[in-house]
Structure 1
Amino acid sequence: MQDGDLRSALFLLTHALLQRRRDVSSARSQRRAEEQRRIRQRHYFLQRQRRMLMMMLAGGIRSSLRLRTRPWSTTPQTDWWERVVLTEFQPADWLDKFRMSRETFFYLCDKLRPRLTRQNTSFRQALPVEKRVAVALWRLATNVEYRIISNLFGVGKSTVCKCVRDMCHSIVTLLSAEYMHAPNEQELEESAQMFLSKRGFPHCVAALAPLHISIISPSQNSSDYANPEGWLSVLSQVAVSGRGHFWDVCASFPGGTDPVEILQNSSLWATAEQGGYSPRSTPTFMGTQLKYVFVGDPCYPLQSWLLTPFTKQKRRRSQAPALDQGQRAFNMHMRKAQLVAGEAMLRLRARWQCLSKRNDCALDVLPTMVLACCILHNICETHRDTFQEEWSEEVAEAEYPQPQHRPHASAAPDHAQAEEVRRVFCDYFEQQEQ
């Protein structure tokens, strides 16, 4: 028994000594790691102070050189915005470069000031709101590379990218409720009057259409972005009022997405199904109470609130398309009404060429950019800024015209009621022709 107790005591003593040795070794390792961390930290701060000192010296040298050069020398034009744009630009220059008048530009700056204002730091002054907006508008209007805008405004490429992102997000956050919202009853009445007076289509408040925007090849699932014409794009759904303003925009889906899927999963579908685009007191048309309707491309399904053209269905291969006089008149006036959306999208893409040329922005930025451009379009149209026709000619010569989707073939849930509504319009147009 005594030998056993001695062995147990020796074992416990040995275990305690080993544990103590491990604790001492661990403490030394931690102390050594802490010393290395402090050394690295001191080295980092030393290098940072050295870089800041070099930047201050370089800034002083550039300032002294800038004072010695002539105003139109080839040095970086960091003051081009203040020296040329704000003092020498004429009204035509503002329209050509920023796609809006000077008054609208400063109105936009005042609206975005709460979100775009930045504070000065000890080492650099923050860009003024006006310059940040100008940098972003130049990018949206021309779709030129960040490098070119960087050299033009005397800012870094990363600053250009940040200006574009910040302004687009600010426009959507601050101005969508004012310039792109569900219409009230007065706006519905005005839009219906515009469709009737300018397009000859009664009882209609909006036109629905798909909008494709060309993009560079994404890193993943590039085949999903191939549209019916074969080129890569993102697809948006737009609803345009009789005045040519965008009421609703659903952006941005892969170009190969079926427009019907976008429509049926959008807030516009849910609102229209509940009668949200018609006055509380249902208006009368052709002697019956009928809610206002939309007109849409053949790729959309026929609904009681969404009218689409009659497709040419042949009974036999040897027979001509069987469309009666009322249906042909309906299709003719439908095409005129659909031009509202086509013309609005053309003006949108012509004014903001980032939507007409191949867009190289990240896919996560595009939805906000599309919404921001649509809101800017509404602002310019509301302020009646001049639209130059040569902009449309540039878009017409673009490499990627808008694709044509195949007509929708499946029957809608309220197909019978929708056919009755479309028949009422056929009777109306047939009576007008007689």
Structure 2
Amino acid sequence: MEDEEQLRSFMFLMTYLLLKRRRDVTSADAQRRSEIQRRIRHRQYFFQRQRRMLMMMIAGGIRSNVRIRTRPWTTTPSTDWWERVVMTEFQPSDWLDKFRMSRETFFYLCEKLRPRLARQDTSFRLALPVEKRVAVALWRLASNIEYRTISTLFGVGKSTVCRCVRDMCHAIVALLSSTYLRSPNEQELEDSAQLFLSHWGFPHCVAALTTLHTAIITPSNNASDYANPAGWLSVLSQVAVSGRGQFWDVCASFPGGTDPADIFQNSSLWATAAEGGLSPAHPPVFMGNPLRYVLLGEPCYPLQSWLMKAYPEEKGRRASHAGLAEPQRLFNRGLARGLRVAEEALLRLRARWQCLSKRNDCGLDVVPTMILACCILHNVCESHGDDFKTEWQVEVSEAESPQPGHKLLLPTSTDQSHAEEVRQLFCDYFEQHNN
């Protein structure tokens, strides 16, 4: 009896296990069939979407061909305008007007930026060529017109225009700064000193310092810090300009209400010049004394043995009765002539890239990089000898945000005591040449 009972229990257990195994196999098969059907539906949806996109592209091409035959080139579709008009029909004057540089410089720039701007095609769209990305960004920098207008012109989305501008500015700063925005070597220092003497009449000088205010939209935080002396909101930049009218050093991104002297004293240019980095190892002789090359600065900067600024003159009185001796007045006039190289460089910069002369509606995270990129592009165009059209300056003079001036400050505690002796040497020079 016991054997039969054990056999019956064993048979029951085996039957249960077999039934459970059968249910598991059936459930696994059902799940596998469900997954296969889900993948089939997903693949069908994917292919249908690709087919719809292809049909839209074909339909868009047909409509474009129709419009090409019925409209003048100024209103042709954007793709045709770029591929046919710009790339094949633009004359040299057109390249200067629209892109502010020659055709040769444009393609030189594209090749230099290609490592950072080239993109791969995807299954859904073709990547914009590097040349078109650069053209979109240059059009924005040169004209400062709305993204929507550029979007319509080039046949790309507004977000694409914004991305092209941002990417190109970052690429220019990353790839071209070491070549076009760097400290000069000894030969370049000597050349700049010769140009300051021959073109601007100021001796023993290699660079002029000045400031640039770029108008911005109201920031979300600390808006009052960006109000400059003229009362409008801006980002303040400090630039050093060589005798060739090119930028050697640029410090951007400071609020418009910042004291320029604070920017300069905390910049790498201050440390380099104070340590003699802007003069040969053996200082050249000036007025019978070995003297390092000097910089010329605005009245707001502190007087240093290597940084000359004007003697303060009393307001409201004629220069001949301002309490200054004749050599000091001659020095002030000579320094004003020397500073003109920086004024003209900034004028050419703002005239060529009008995003710096009109109110810039980009975010504060983009504006400083844009300023640096424009300064580098200025150096690229100047070094390649690209023409500069005088009518561009008229547009700058009509800009809504003229540059504010800085006050002529009295001597301060930051002035070097022996710097006055150096300034007196320049007074003697101008008096000697005046006689």
TM-score, with structure 1 as normaliser: 0.86
> Would you say the 8 A contact 1:226–1:232 is kept in 2?
yes
Q: Deviations over 1:56-110 (max 9, x none)?
A: 3322321233344434546742221111001110000000000000111111111
Is structure 2 residue 198 aligned with structure 1 residue 200? no
228-237 vs 53-62, which moves further: 53-62
Q: Which amino acid in 2 is paired with 1:386?
A: D
What is the match of residue 213 of structure 1? 214
Q: How does 1:254-403 map to 2 (within 5 A)?
A: 254-313=255-314, 320-403=321-404
What is the match of residue 228 of structure 2? 227
Cα 1:54–1:264 change in 2 (3 A) is same
Structure 2 counterpart SS, 1:110: helix
> Would you say the 8 A contact 2:68–2:77 is kept in 1?
no
Q: Which amino acid in 2 is paired with 1:57?
A: M
2 CA distance for matches of 1:233 and 1:133? Answer: 26
Cα 1:295–1:44 change in 2 (3 A) is farther
Q: Which amino acid in 1 is paired with 2:64?
A: R
Structure 2 counterpart SS, 1:331: helix
2 CA distance for matches of 1:330 and 1:195? Answer: 15
Q: Deviations over 1:128-184 (max 9, x none)?
A: 111111000000000000000000000111111111111111111111111110000
1:399 positional shift:
1.6
What is the match of residue 426 of structure 1? 427
2 CA distance for matches of 1:44 and 1:255? Answer: 56
2 CA distance for matches of 1:71 and 1:172? Answer: 42
What is the match of residue 56 of structure 1? 54
Q: How does 1:400-415 map to 2 (within 5 A)?
A: 400-409=401-410, 411-413=412-414, 415=416
1 CA distance for matches of 2:43 and 2:364? Answer: 38
Cα 1:46–1:280 change in 2 (3 A) is farther
296-305 vs 63-72, which moves further: 63-72
64-73 vs 289-298, which moves further: 64-73
Structure 1 counterpart SS, 2:208: strand
Is structure 2 residue 120 aligned with structure 1 residue 122? no
1 CA distance for matches of 2:69 and 2:221? Answer: 48
What is the match of residue 93 of structure 1? 94
Unaligned runs of 5+ in 1: 1-37
Q: Which amino acid in 1 is paired with 2:236?
A: L
What is the match of residue 177 of structure 1? 178
Q: Deviations over 1:220-276 (max 9, x none)?
A: 211111100101111000000000000000002111111011101111011111111
Cα 1:105–1:72 change in 2 (3 A) is farther
Q: Deviations over 1:323-367 (max 9, x none)?
A: 001100000000000000000000000000000011001111011
2 CA distance for matches of 1:269 and 1:412? Answer: 17
1:321 positional shift:
1.8
Which structure is larger by alpha-carbon Rg, 1 or 2? 2
When the two structures are aligned, how many residues end up with a matched partner? 392
Cα 1:47–1:370 change in 2 (3 A) is farther
Percentage of identical aligned residues: 66
> Would you say the 8 A contact 1:79–1:153 is kept in 2?
no
Q: How does 1:68-83 map to 2 (within 5 A)?
A: 68-71=66-69, 73=71, 76-83=77-84
> Would you say the 8 A contact 2:172–2:373 is kept in 1?
yes
Q: CA RMSD in A?
A: 2.2
1 CA distance for matches of 2:415 and 2:264? Answer: 16
Unaligned runs of 5+ in 2: 1-34
> Would you say the 8 A contact 2:64–2:77 is kept in 1?
no
2 CA distance for matches of 1:154 and 1:351? Answer: 25
What is the match of residue 140 of structure 1? 141
What is the match of residue 65 of structure 1? 63
> Would you say the 8 A contact 1:303–1:412 is kept in 2?
no
> Would you say the 8 A contact 1:207–1:239 is kept in 2?
yes
